[in-house]
Structure 1
Amino acid sequence: MWGWAGLIIRLVVGGVWIVAGALKLPDPAASVRAVRAYDLLPESIVPTVGHVLPLVEIVIGACLVVGLFTRWSAVLSGLLFVVFIIGIASAWQRGLQIDCGCFGGGGQIADATSKYPLEIARDVALLVASALLVWRPRTRLALDPVLFPTPTEEARP
């Protein structure tokens, strides 16, 4: 039963990362603007984070979708969701009116604080899904068992 449920979780979380990263790639300046809007990082590293983050998201997503290095990809996924939850909560607490930049865009927007609870809830749900994949990384239709079989998987006909 877990194998199919795990596959669905892998595809959902991985798909979210791929979409999020792919929507940021065409406009790197918007990604940098989104990172800058949080006002949490030193300005010297904001451009690097803004440019690298979409690529990291796509790689994590692709690994989850194909089931490659699932546990480690899920660990990185979970860590990123924790960072995003902290960032959104920090913006909310400081009264910033910014687009989360999660799926492109970013910067100042009106009435952003009304969106923060839903964004945090979404990221918490995806964090829990990532944690499930850390706990049980072996799922259906994954490359991990093919490339890195356990002794019981090697014995199967």
Structure 2
Amino acid sequence: MVRVLLAAILGIAGYAKFSEASGLQKVAVSSYRILPQSMVGPVALGLPVLEMALAALILIGFATRTMAICVGVLFIVFIAGIISVWARGLTIDCGCFGGGGQVAKGQTHYLREIFRDTGFLVLAAWLMVFPRGKLALDRWLGL
């Protein structure tokens, strides 16, 4: 169940970003003001693909513990990014499920986003500790 939930979260987030125009993806990434401009495009295009690939691998249960660690690291990066933006006083939409970019003052939800991503991190941690499910490919392969 945790595997399916985590895969759904990643798949929805990845697809929401992936289905947006390239320019909007870049706006969402560049609004964090963390990466050099030369990295914005590759991250904006690669992040949704990474999220969807991790979702697929988690869902089928292949290398579940390793994928859960990767997902956990990804959520730590997301949380750190949100904290960084908040600490610097920037007003952006996180773009976690599409969208992103500048928003009006008072329209940010940083604490809620941090708690949400921390909850997702807990799911990834659970999967790190208990990676084998009844329908996981790992179990069928004897891994």
TM interval, short-chain normalised: over 0.9
Determine the C-alpha separation between the residues in 2 that align with 1:22 and 1:109. 22
What are the superposed Cα offsets for residues 8-55 of structure 1, whole Å, 9 maximum, x if unpaired? 111111100000011111223222111100001111111100000000
Q: Which amino acid aligns with 1:124?
A: T
Aligned-residue sequence identity (percent) comes to 44
The aligned runs of 1:8-157 (5 Å cut-off) are: 8-27=1-20, 28-110=22-104, 111-113=106-108, 115-147=109-141, 149=142
Question: Paired residues, what number?
Answer: 141
Question: Where does the alignment leave 5 or more consecutive residues of structure 2 unmatched?
Answer: none
The CA RMSD over aligned residues, in Å, is 1.1
Provide the residue aligned with 1:4 in structure 2. Answer: none
Superposition misfits of 4+ residues, deviation over 3 angstroms: none
C-alpha distance in 2 between matches for 1:103 and 1:84: 12
Q: TM-score, normalised by structure 2?
A: 0.94
Shift in Å, 1:112? 3.5
The answer for unaligned runs of 5 or more in structure 1 is 1-7, 151-157
The C-alpha deviation readout for 1:72-103, integer Å capped at 9, x for no partner, is 11011000000000000111111111010101
Please say which structure displays the higher CA radius of gyration. 1
Distance 1:36 1:71 in 2: 31
Distance of 1:34 and 1:87 partners within structure 2: 12
* Superposed displacement of residue 123, structure 1: 0.4
The range that moved more, 81-90 or 64-73, is: 64-73
